[in-house]
Structure 1
Amino acid sequence: MSEVSLAVNGRTVTGTVEDRTLLVHFLRENLGLTGTHVGCDTSQCGACVVHVDGKAVKSCTMLAVQASGSTITTIEGLADGADLHPMQAAFREHHGLQCGFCTPGMIMTATDMVRRHPEGLDEATVRAELEGNICRCTGYHNIVKAILAASQTMQKADGAAQAA
């Protein structure tokens, strides 16, 4: 058993876990953050993506003890207060979801994608970078539309913040 301490969605949490406990299971079972989904447990589907120190990580491939000392953001912590994050709002506005199972992982992957491409995104880049995130419902068309729309909104907001 090992002690872990993480900053999750802005608050410090600690817990004792078996050394083999995956980060996804720690988030869901120990912290009750069930927005991070368990799809395949083999890093194939992307339903479990969270941000670890600002970068998208498939939490089924990381042990909780490996994440100790890190800052974790889950889908529950992405929004600022009552307002949806621009990526969440774009998924809703552009119908980028159907059953919703893959949506948290898609949104977390997409927000990291925007961060890594401050110059902007195009459809080919979005489609290529979504590899490893599986959606069985939408056919990806509306997911790509949502990501491109949110990317523009997020870039405008970043530009306005830098100008201020």
Structure 2
Amino acid sequence: MRLTERKIGNDCLVGDGAHAKIQRQASGVLYLTCKNFKNGNLDISKVDYISEEDYSKYFRAESKALTKPQIGDVLFSIIGTIGEPYLYQQKDRFGISSSVSLLRPDVNVVNPNYLYYWIKGDIFQNALYGVKGGVAQGYVSLEMIKSITSLLSSTCNPTTHS
């Protein structure tokens, strides 16, 4: 496997969740924020819900805005506790707030599993903290994420992920 140094924005589409104020309700579709991403898993002990209608409206696959996660996307928190990753699985169905970034790797360049573990690693985490803004509450913008130099495989042989 040959590794090349590139910008994340070259090998991944980068988006985030809904920027709209979506009405929360007692049940429905999970709506996750940065607080729900912990240690590579989802913490849904305190979770919000949105209606099916709002989910369909704000998280459309055919939208120009990259807001609806799909299998193989790597999500991570970008406000507050920054850089907590999660690999979107086939079983998942939820919406995300704008406090969560979504990376959709070009599977011809980088395997989603590799990207997930790379994001968990020190190189990415240090780069993320090197570009973050904010004083009281840290944040990283999508442009900051796109500009981070990555070490991604250019000869990746994608695998199936669950």
* TM surpasses 0.5: no
Higher helix proportion (structure 1 or 2):
1
Higher strand proportion (structure 1 or 2):
2
Q: Larger RCO: Structure 1 or Structure 2 (Cα < 8 Å, ≥ 6 residues apart)?
A: 2
TM-score (normalizing by structure 2): 0.27
TM-score (normalizing by structure 1): 0.27
